[in-house]
Structure 1
Amino acid sequence: MKTLKLLLTIMVFSSARTTLAQTRPGIKVGLNNSNISNTTLDTKSGIYIGAFVDIPISDYYTLQPELLYSNQGGKSNSDQYGDVNINYISIGLPNKFYVSSNKGFHFILGLGLDINFENNFVNLTNFNGDDEISPVDVSVFGGIGYEFDFGLILEARYKQGTVSVDFFGEDDLYEEAGSNLNGVFQIGAAYKFKL
C-alpha cells in the first residue's frame, strides 16, 4: 500500500512539474465595442489591455487566468448627457478548448469579475458624489481564436454582464424597463512569451 501511495505521489508531482514548465505568461490588447441594455445609449468603442498566464492542462485544453483594464459604457445621443465611460479591472478565467492537439483554432468559454474603479457618470449628473453605477459586474463570455506556433494569438469574444449597471433615478437614460446590463464585443491580439 505504501508503494502505491509513493507511486501516486511521484506521478502527481511529475505532472504538476511538467504543467508548470509549460506555463507561459503573455500580454494582450484589443478593441471593445460596448453598450448597456435598455438605455438610450448607442454602442461605444474602447480598449482593453492586460496580461495573462497560459496553463496547459492537456493537448486540447488550456486554462488562461487574466487581468485586464477594460473601457466600457455607451455613447450618448442626447445633449443632456455625455458618453458614459466605465473603467473596469477585469479578472477573467477563460477556458480554451483546442480543435487539434497542435493548438491553432480554439473555442473560449469563461467567467469574469469586473471591478468598476472609475466612471464619469457622477460627473455628468453632478449627483453630490454618490455612486451612480454598480461597483462590480460578473460576466460570462465566449468566443473563438487562433494561436500561431510562434506565440501570436488572435481572438474575438462576446462578454455579457449579469449585474445591472443601474442608473439610479435617471429616467432619461432608460429606453425600456429591465436591467441595464453591459454587453461587449471584443477583438484583439495576444502574445505568449517563451520562457
Structure 2
Amino acid sequence: MRKIIVFAFLFIGIFASKAQVTFNPGLRAGLSLSTISETHADYKPDFYVGGFGEINISKRYALQPEINYIRQGSNNVARNFIDPNTQTERTVYQDLQISYLSIGLINKFKFGQGLEVQFGPALDVLLDDNLVFRKTNNDLSFVTGLAYKMPSGLGFEIRFKKGLYDVLDSDYYHNNSNEHYFFGDYNTNVNFQIGVTYSFDVK
C-alpha cells in the first residue's frame, strides 16, 4: 500500500512539473430557478452568488473548486390538512425556501474560442429554510452546464443542478382527494442557474 501511495505522488509530481498549470480566481452570480420534484408546484426565482478557483491543468481541461450561496425551494406548494376547528379538509399554498452553502468540484472541458462544458459533484450544506418537516438537512448534487468565456475574463453560463437526497417530508404535504396535488415519496432539489462569471488574471 505504501508503494502505491508513493507511486501516486510521484506520478502527480511528474505530471505537474511537465504541465503548465495556472490558477485563476473568480466570481459568479446570477438567477436561480428551482423547484422540488414530485410536488406539482411552481418554479421559485431567486439568486446565487459565489467564488471559484480555476486550475488550468491543460489547454483543454480545468478543475474548478467553488463555494456558492444558493437560494432554492419551490413556490405554490399545496398542503392538505384537516382543520381542527371545523373538522373539514383544507388546502393552503406555501412558498418553500431552502438556502444552501454549496461546495462544488467542477470539471471544465474547453472547446473552440471560449466554449466550455462543465460537470461535477457538489455538497450542499443547509443554512436556512422554512420547511416544517424535512427528510435531511444537507444535500448531495450533480451539476452540469455550458459556459462561454471571453478573453477579458467575463463569461456567461447556464447550469442544471440536481439534488440526490429526499429533502421534503411528503407526509406533511399529502393530499388524499385530488391527484393534481399528489406528492411523490422522492422529493429532490431541481435547480437551473443562469448567470455571469469573471475570472481574474493572476500572473
- TMscore range, shorter length: 0.7 to 0.9
Distance change >3 Å, CA 140–CA 10, structure 1 → 2: closer
Deviations 1:138-195 (A, max 9, x none): 1111111101001011110111111011225313376243300111111111100112
* Paired position in structure 2 for 1:146: 148
Which one of the candidate residues 107, 127, 131 is aligned to 1:117?
A: 127
Aligned to 1:107, which of 110, 114, 117? Answer: 117
Q: Distance in 2 between matches of 1:154 and 1:92?
A: 18
**Letter of the 1:107 counterpart:** V
Segments of structure 1 that go 5 or more residues without pairing to the other structure are: 1-7, 123-130
In structure 2, what is the Cα distance between the partners aligned to 1:76 and 1:108? Answer: 31
2:170 touches 2:187 (CA, 8 Å); kept in 1? no
SS in 1 for 2:94: coil
Partner of residue 3, structure 1? none
**Using the alignment, how far apart are the partners of 1:81 and 1:35 within structure 2?**
14
Q: Answer whether contact 1:121 1:133 (CA < 8 A) is retained.
A: no
Distance 1:104 1:56 in 2: 14
Q: Percent identity?
A: 36
Counterpart of 1:5? none
Q: Note if contact 1:116-1:134 (Cα within 8 Å) is conserved in structure 2.
A: no
Structure 2 Cα separation of the partners of residues 147 and 108 of structure 1: 12
The DSSP-based 3-state class of the residue aligned with 2:134 is coil
The residue aligned with 2:136 is 134
Matching residue of 2:7: none
2:95 corresponds to which residue? 83
Which portions of structure 1, spanning 4 or more consecutive aligned residues, are displaced by more than 4 angstroms?
8-13
- In 1, the alpha carbon distance for the partners of 2:53 and 2:129 equals 28
- Secondary structure class of the residue paired with 1:14: helix
Task: Give the secondary-structure state (helix, strand or coil) at the position aligned to 2:17.
Answer: helix
Match of 1:27 in 2: 27
Closer, same or farther in 2 for the Cα pair 1:59/1:33, shift >3 Å?
Answer: same
- Partner Cα separation in structure 1 for residue 107 and residue 71 of structure 2: 23
Structure with a larger share of its residues in strand? 2
Contact 1:94 1:108 in 2 (8 A): yes
TM-score (norm 2): 0.78
CA gap of 1:135–1:66, structure 2 versus 1, over 3 A, is same
- Report the equivalent of 1:4: none
Cα distance in 2, alignment partners of residues 113 and 77 from structure 1: 25
1:194 maps to a residue whose letter is D
1:14 aligns with 2:2: no
**CA RMSD of the aligned region, Å?**
2.2
> Partners in 2 of 1:80 and 1:114 — Cα distance?
29
Q: Is the 8 A contact 1:133 1:166 kept in 2?
A: yes
Q: Which runs of 5+ in 2 are unaligned?
A: 1-10, 79-90, 176-180
